[in-house]
Structure 1
Amino acid sequence: MTVTVDADPGPFELDVATTALVIIDMQRDFCEPGGFGETLGNDVSLLRGVIPPLQRVLAAARALGMTVVHTREGHVPDLSDCPPAKLHRGSPSLRIGDPGPKGRILVRGEYGHDIVDELAPVEGELVVDKPGKGSFHGTSFGAELAARGITRLVVTGVTTEVCVHTTVREANDRGYECLVLSDCVGSYFPEFQRVGLAMIAAQGGIFGWVAPSAALLTALPVTALEGTPS
């Protein structure tokens, strides 16, 4: 089943069978109070607006049987996969690995490392744990996509200018065509959100395409939208 999405800089065609919905780092440590995002001085409420439109897209993807991949940024308990440049950057109130309100900050297996309840994976959906910003580095992400014959990605999640951008750039270099849903990605900085999206679609789509989630949902079969959250 092939559909065409009205996007910037032009129409984006996708075959549901060879397209994956990628949900990047919608974790409690980034999206809820007490997590790593807040220790860096950020207003985590700015990321909460991503959740309702992303719920609708996720429901439609599930109804169509589309491949869904969730990623989580975080580290093994001894932090051996966390480089010093990342561990010691800035002046957060809590650093990676420190005990926090949701467990050790950005450590795999801790409550804060997991995905928010509203977007929790269901059985059969891939969950890729990554030590860095990009989804390909140090993970099985690329191999999992290849095994499923995926050629196009619908990219969502947080943050727009960091993990989303890094993943889209990595994907672009590997030959994947990416559609970024503008209201399903978020940043702690409104200006970074605006510029980050503009950079993706600039110069005829130098890294990919950008569209609001409504454009994708409009293009999908009506039956796929039945029962999606309103």
Structure 2
Amino acid sequence: MTSKLPNTALLVMDLQNGIVSRFADKPEALLPFRQAIEVARSRGIQIIYVRVAFREGYPEVSPNNKFFGAVTQRPQGMTESDEATQIHDSVKPQPGDVLVTKRRISAFAGSDLEVILRARGISKLVLTGISTSGVVLSTLREAADKDFELQVLSDACLDADPEVHNVLMEKVFPRQADVMTAGAWIESLNEA
């Protein structure tokens, strides 16, 4: 049974080679992402991949930015064409998916994400990504302020600090989003 959900988008955030590689010892961690993507695709839900990348020479990176200032000194490049910024093969975009490039932590910062969402009439976002305390938190806060309806797939979010992940999922995110596992989200689609 295929039902279109034209007002919904699944955001797959920062599942790019240079970030996914931090979890190389846990390949099973990407399974909930793959399941959510597969079901979203089969149900006609718009899939939007978000990556962080910069132009050659890093003109967007200020030395005053404590987090991104160090990017220009890393041996692994973070420009739009570098391998580190390409979406990981295990969740590779397909025709019809959208790729958004952001310049900061939030998926909205320095990107055209909001233009794409508004142009497509999308009002509901399902958030997944690496890391929970980075892109997911920043995007959730900004999306809530922009009045999007939000869901977060708890097991399709990863963080280097499991305690921070749990606090965000259990205490912070539920104030602005419905938090559920990828399996529970898939089940809710089947019930709709």
| TM-score of the aligned structures, taking structure 2 as reference length | 0.90
Letter of the 2:87 counterpart: I
* Aligned counterpart, 2:173: 200
Letter of the 1:73 counterpart: V
* Aligned counterpart, 2:13: 24
> Which SS does the other structure have where 2:10 is aligned?
strand
Aligned CA RMSD, in angstroms, stands at 2.1
User: Structure 2 CA distance, aligned partners of 1:20 and 1:190?
Assistant: 26
| Post-superposition offset of 1:50 | 3.4
Structure 2: any 5+ residue segments left out of the alignment? none
User: Structure 1 CA distance, aligned partners of 2:142 and 2:43?
Assistant: 26
User: Structure 2 CA distance, aligned partners of 1:46 and 1:167?
Assistant: 27
Superposed, 1:45-60 pairs within 5 Å as 45=24, 48-60=27-39
Structure 1: any 5+ residue segments left out of the alignment? 4-14, 33-42, 90-94, 223-230
Q: Identify the match of residue 74 of structure 1 among 25, 42, 53.
A: 53
Letter of the 1:116 counterpart: H
User: Structure 2 CA distance, aligned partners of 1:25 and 1:47?
Assistant: 17
* Aligned counterpart, 1:182: 154
* Aligned counterpart, 2:135: 163
Letter of the 2:7 counterpart: T
> Which SS does the other structure have where 2:60 is aligned?
coil
Structure possessing the higher radius of gyration over alpha carbons: 1
Q: Are 1:218 and 2:183 counterparts?
A: no
CA contact (8 A) 1:47 1:188 kept: no
> Which SS does the other structure have where 1:178 is aligned?
strand
Superposed, 1:107-146 pairs within 5 Å as 107-146=79-118
Letter of the 2:159 counterpart: S
Q: 1 or 2 for the larger relative contact order (CA 8 Å, sep ≥6)?
A: 1
User: Structure 1 CA distance, aligned partners of 2:25 and 2:164?
Assistant: 12
Pair 24,47 (structure 1): closer, same or farther in 2 beyond 3 Å: farther
> Which SS does the other structure have where 2:9 is aligned?
strand
User: Structure 2 CA distance, aligned partners of 1:46 and 1:169?
Assistant: 30
User: Structure 1 CA distance, aligned partners of 2:97 and 2:73?
Assistant: 27
User: Structure 2 CA distance, aligned partners of 1:154 and 1:140?
Assistant: 18
| Post-superposition offset of 1:24 | 0.5
| Post-superposition offset of 1:61 | 0.6
Letter of the 2:158 counterpart: G
User: Structure 2 CA distance, aligned partners of 1:68 and 1:115?
Assistant: 13
| TM-score of the aligned structures, taking structure 1 as reference length | 0.76
| Post-superposition offset of 1:97 | 5.6
* Aligned counterpart, 1:10: none
Q: Are 1:172 and 2:157 counterparts?
A: no
Identical aligned pairs, as a percentage? 26
